[in-house]
Amino acid sequence: MKIVIAPDSFKGSLTSSEVADCIEIGLQRVFPDAEICKVPVSDGGDGFVTALLSNFKSANYFEAQVVNPIGTPIIARFAFIDTKTAVLDIASASGLDLLESKQYDPMISSTYGTGMLIKEAIGRGASTIILGLGGSATNDAGIGLLQALGFNLLNDSGKEVGLGGRSLSAIHTVNCDNVPCEVKATQFILATDVNNILLGPGGATMVFGPQKGASPAMLKDLEAGMENWDKRVSTFSGKQLATTPGVGAAGGTAYTMMSFLRSKIVSGLELFFDFIGFDKLISEADLVVTGEGRLDGQSQFGKVPLGVARRVKQTGQIPVVAINGSIDGENSWVYDNGLDAVFSCIQGVTELENAIRNARNSLIIAAERAARALAINITTVNQDLKGITYEK
C-alpha cells in the first residue's frame, strides 16, 4: 500500500514538514508496512521556500540581512534551485509572523525588506525569481520593494516619499533612472493563492487590511492611497491592471510588480505541483492524505487541501482524506471538491493557545483515528488490499 502525505502547514504551530511527520506516525500505527511518501506543500504562503525546497535535494540556501516590516534588522533566507533561479517568499522578510500583534500597522509596515532580499538574490546571479506572496504584513502595494530596488517615488515637491501604506497617497511621480539593468532584466514569477483585485470591496485593502491591523479609519485612508497609486501607475506605465485577478496579493505587491517589473502571476499551488512532479508521485498511490490548520469557507479558494484533492482527481479515483486542525461549520461542499473524508484534531472545547501547544500530539492521534476508520473500509471493500493487517 502506498500513501502520499501532502499537507500544508498548521499556521502558528507546525510547518508542513512537521505536519507530514505527525501524520506519518499516526498512520503507521495502523498501517506499519505501508510505503509512505511525504510531500510538504505550500501554495505561496508562509513556508513556501522551505516546503518547495524540501523536495529538492540539491537546493542551496543563502542568508541575507534585511529589515522586517517595521524596519528592524533581521536575517532572512532564500535559495537557488539552479544557478539562475532563486526562490523567495515575502513572509520571510515582510511577513505578519515577524511581528507581535501589538505591532500590526499597515500604515507603516513595508515590503522594503523583501526588496532587499530580491536585490541580494540578483546580486548572487539570479535571472529568474520565484516569489511566494502569502503571509505579508503589508498594505503598501509593494512600493517599499520598489524603493529597495532603486525606484524613486516622489511627491508633488519632488521629494522622496516615506515607507508604508500611508505614503501611497503622497506619490506623484515615479523615477526609474537609478534602477539597475539587472533588476529590469529579471523575470519574476509571482506565486499566490488569492485572486483578489486591487481596489474595492474585494480588493487588497478591504479583504486583507483588517487581518493586518487596519482599523475602519485606516482602511479608508489606505484605499484612498491605493486609488492614488493606481492613478499614478496608469499614467506612468500606460497599464490598466487594477482589475486583473491576483494583483491584490500581498497588499497589492503583485499589482506593482506586474506594472514595473517583468512579472507574471501564477497559482502557487499549481506551480508547486508542477515543480515537484506531483502527478508522478501519486500515480501509484492508494491513498492521499492532506490537511491545513483550519478548514473553512476560504479553503474553497485555492487553499491546499482542496487543491490537492482536485489535482488528485484529475489523475484518477484515488481517495483523498484531509486531517485539519479545526473544521468550521457546515462543510458538505468539501465533498463536491474532491475530498472523500475530513477529520479534525480538536478533541473537545479548548482555547486556541492550548490547541496550538498540543498540535503535534493531537495531529498524531487524529491521523491514527482516520487510519482506523479507513482500515475498516480497506479490509472489507478493497479486495486488492486484503493482505493489510489491521492492528487493534
Q: Which residues pair with residue 22 across a beta bridge?
A: none
Alpha-carbon span 276 to 56, nearest angstrom = 8
Q: Which of 47-51, 71-75, 143-147 has the lowest mean pLDDT?
A: 47-51
Helix H or strand E segment including 232: helix 216-237
Q: What per-residue confidence (pLDDT) applies to 10?
A: 84
Q: What per-residue confidence (pLDDT) applies to 381?
A: 40
Higher pLDDT, 338 or 300: 338
State pLDDT tens for residues 22-41: 999 999 999 999 999 999 88
Residue 380 reports pLDDT greater than 70: no
Kindly report the length of the chain: 392
Average pLDDT on 90-113 reads 96
Helix H or strand E segment including 38: strand 35-38
Q: What per-residue confidence (pLDDT) applies to 390?
A: 37
Alpha-carbon span 190 to 265, nearest angstrom = 5
Helix H or strand E segment including 331: none
**Residues of the chain above pLDDT 90, percent:** 64
Q: What per-residue confidence (pLDDT) applies to 242?
A: 97
The CB-side HSE value for 213 (13 A sphere, CA atoms) comes to 19
The CB-side HSE value for 247 (13 A sphere, CA atoms) comes to 21
What nine digits make up the cell of 168? 501611497
Arithmetic mean of pLDDT over the chain: 88
Residue 344 reports pLDDT greater than 70: yes
Report helix angle 268-276 to 304-315, nearest 10: 50
Q: What per-residue confidence (pLDDT) applies to 349?
A: 58
State pLDDT tens for residues 169-205: 999 999 999 999 999 999 999 999 889 999 999 999 9
Q: Which residues pair with residue 35 across a beta bridge?
A: 2
What nine digits make up the cell of 75? 536575517
Alpha-carbon span 330 to 237, nearest angstrom = 46
Helix H or strand E segment including 356: helix 352-357
Task: Label residue 357 by pLDDT band (50, 70, 90).
Answer: confident
Spatial CA neighbour of 384 closest among 332, 318, 335: 318
Alpha-carbon span 146 to 210, nearest angstrom = 24
Higher pLDDT, 111 or 332: 111
Return the top range by mean pLDDT from 157-166, 294-303, 345-354, 359-368.
157-166
- 3-state DSSP helix/strand/coil % of the chain, to nearest 5: 45, 20, 40
Task: Label residue 43 by pLDDT band (50, 70, 90).
Answer: confident
Alpha-carbon span 218 to 322, nearest angstrom = 38
Q: What per-residue confidence (pLDDT) applies to 301?
A: 52
Any alpha helices (H) in 59-162, and if so which ranges? Answer: 91-94, 112-123, 143-148
Q: What per-residue confidence (pLDDT) applies to 297?
A: 58
Report helix angle 216-237 to 249-260, nearest 10: 10
The CB-side HSE value for 119 (13 A sphere, CA atoms) comes to 21
Q: What per-residue confidence (pLDDT) applies to 387?
A: 43
Task: Label residue 352 by pLDDT band (50, 70, 90).
Answer: low
Contacts of 236 (CB under 8 A, 6+ apart): 173, 174
Residue 356 reports pLDDT greater than 80: no
What nine digits make up the cell of 334? 468539501
Residue found under cell 500583534:
101
Please state the pTM of the whole predicted model. Answer: 0.85
**Residues of the chain above pLDDT 70, percent:** 89
Residue 346 reports pLDDT greater than 80: no
Q: What per-residue confidence (pLDDT) applies to 60?
A: 87
Question: Count H helices, E strands: the chain?
Answer: 14, 15
Rg (CA), the chain: 22
Helix H or strand E segment including 69: none
Residue found under cell 500544508:
8
